[in-house]
Amino acid sequence: MKTKKGGQNVNPARKESNTQKTPERWPMNNEKTIIILIRHGETTANRDGIFRGRKDFPLNENGILQAQQLAEHIAKKFSLDAIYSGPLSRTTETAAPVAEKFNIPLQIEPRLNNISLGSWEGVPYSEIERKYPEQYHLWLTEPEKLRIPDGETLADVRIRSVESVDESVRKHTEQTIALVSHRAVIKPLIAGLIGLPAPYFWKIHIDNAAYCIIYHNLERGFEIYQSNINSYLGQFVVEEGG
């Protein structure tokens, strides 16, 4: 993991992954549904290299600041109609300032909850590597093939998260919505929406409190318009493993 300061010494591969300039403010939408897909802010587990899963780590001090920076940015760029969050505190604490900016209710969506990692939850990467070297290597290379006892697979997450987004798009057609979730949900969700085959997990990157913009229209389906937008963040941890 590396700590980065926004705008300073950022690896080009970790900058906002887009080829189009973000408009000063997003126009009102009357042709497509716009989905703002947000990863939660930083926790101590992100900084300390600990598997999270569904263990309820709250935002740390920097994560709280990131949530405020995110909310200020979103309020300047979008007109938001609805916001949904997974149930864990790190997602609700990230989503709450955004909901407050738009004076809209924060709606909890269980299908946006993080992947269940069973006995790995709350355990440092280094300990998992020592106890389960083959499984840990699989996580770092082809996590789509990994099944942890008492946990979910990425395929499980992909199915439930895509179902959730499909339902949200039907409910909010031609509106702009925000969904706040986790790295291990956002990656299989993106793969599912645009039909990416495995292996895909380590080919998609999103930082804490960064977001992606996804379009949907009836003729073309889903389109990834921009990804890993993070220019408003002061500091963030770049997680390259674990």
Could you give the residue numbers annotated as active site? 40, 182
Q: Percent helix, strand, coil in the chain (nearest 5)?
A: 40, 20, 40
Count of Cβ atoms closer than 10 Å to residue 3 Cβ: 11
**How far apart (Å, rounded) are the C-alpha atoms in residues 65 and 72?**
11
Asked whether the CA dihedral 188, 175, 74, 55 is positive or negative, the reply is: negative
- 94 forms beta bridges with none
**How far apart (Å, rounded) are the C-alpha atoms in residues 219 and 213?**
18
The SS3 call for residue 222 is strand
